[in-house]
Amino acid sequence: MAGKHTVIAFVWDFDKTLIPKYSEAPLFKHFHVEESHFWNEVNHLADFYKSKGMKNVSNDTVYLNHILTYVEKGIFKNLNNKLLRELGAKIEFYNGVPKFFSALSNHIAQNSLYQKYDLVLEHYIVSTGLYEMIAGSKIGPYVDDIWANEFIEEPASPNFLESKRLKPKIHKSITQVGYIIDNTNKTRAIYEINKGVNKIPGIDVNTIIPKDQRRVPIQNVVYIADGPSDIPSFSAVNQNGGISYGVYKPGSQKDFEQAYELYQQGRVKFFSEADYSEGSHTFLTLQNILDTIAKRIVSEKQIEASPIIPKSQPLPQHIPGD
């Protein structure tokens, strides 16, 4: 079990960070829907709904409602959470993933000095994608938790609390959005990791916990993502002493320039291409960052363990005639 302040957290964005495409790509392929057509519709939904009288539309998450519309109209016929998880297994990752995750974890677990002080590395994914697809992907077994959007299949009926009978689990089509995470409230997930909401029963993100008593200090957090949409999360980590890290699609001049601009603006402290294969620049840099954090924690623990030597008191002076 990890000791106080000995948890290091690598918090990952998903789409365009760990994978080259959007994670929903297998969903569109399964139902023979042109992916670009769907996203083009999504990009115009805000204007469409505002023309119908809506004041505000969430650009980050309105695609969830459009998926439900496709289900309702029979285009995504019988789409349920079970199928979403199965389709997640078809998500393609950048080079080195998920092996890179276990390599970093083993780097901590197999170091005798780090283990002496109970250091542990945890991996988290915080994404505006779909929880079931991410959990069903090959990265699922390598992460400690996932924050992403979730769907409800069978909504609770009115007076459901009075029902004494438990219904068997039936994988009906998804009908409602159960949990929403956008690019702004990704920061909420970071603070939930910080406080240990997912690990310690009875607390939530609003629970008052002094910074020096939180499970994962932000200075032990590395946030890795690909673009401007993650600026709120980059800022939350930077302002609290953590590490922000930008990645870009290998070989893409456009994505490189975007990452370089984030670096120039001070949004990210490091950036490199999204190649996580052993020996790559990204592999070595993130491993070095991990070591830097680990050595700082060890140093802090050694100082805490050192006996406090009181300042020496001056010897009493002999006064003649006493």
Work out the pLDDT band at 169, boundaries 50, 70, 90: low
Residues 6+ apart with CB under 8 A from 108: 8, 114, 119, 120, 121, 290, 294
Alpha-carbon distance of 187 to 237, in angstroms, equals 9
Domain assignment of residue 113, yes or no: yes
Supply the range of the domain harboring residue 174: 7-21+93-305
Q: Would you say residue 317 lies in a domain?
A: no
pTM value?
A: 0.91
| pLDDT at 5 (0 to 100) | 87
- For 170-193, the pLDDT digits (tens) are 678 999 999 999 999 999 999 999
pLDDT score at 275: 98
pLDDT exceeds 80 at position 280: yes
Residue 240 inside a domain? The answer is: yes
What integer pLDDT is reported at residue 319 of this predicted model?
42
> In total, how many domains does the chain have?
1
Instruction: Measure the CA–CA gap between 275 and 295, rounded to whole angstroms.
Output: 25
The pLDDT value given to residue 43? 95
Residue (of 134, 112, 110, 111) closest to 123 by Cα position? 134
Give the residue-averaged pLDDT of 283-290: 98
Q: How confident is the model at residue 311, as a pLDDT? A: 55
289 has pLDDT over 80: yes
SS3 305: helix
- Asked if the structure places residue 210 within a domain, the reply is yes
Confidence of residue 322 (pLDDT cuts 50, 70, 90): very low
Predicted pLDDT of residue 165: 67
Any domain includes 27: no
Calculate mean pLDDT across residues 304-317.
60
Q: CATH number for the domain including 130?
A: 3.40.50.1000
Residue 61 in any domain: the answer is no
91: number of Cβ within 10 Å: 24
The torsion defined by the Cα of 262, 266, 270 and 276, in degrees rounded to 10, comes to -30
> Please, what's the b/e burial string for 240-249 (b: 16 or more CB within 10 A of its CB; e: otherwise)?
eebbbbbbbb
Residue 314 included in any domain? no
Confidence at residue 74, expressed as pLDDT on a 0 to 100 scale: 97
Q: Is residue 42, in this structure, part of any structural domain at all?
A: no
Classify burial at 65, counting beta carbons within 10 Å of its beta carbon; exposed 0-12, middle 13-18, buried 19 or more: middle
pLDDT in tens, 188-217: 999 999 999 999 899 999 899 998 899 999
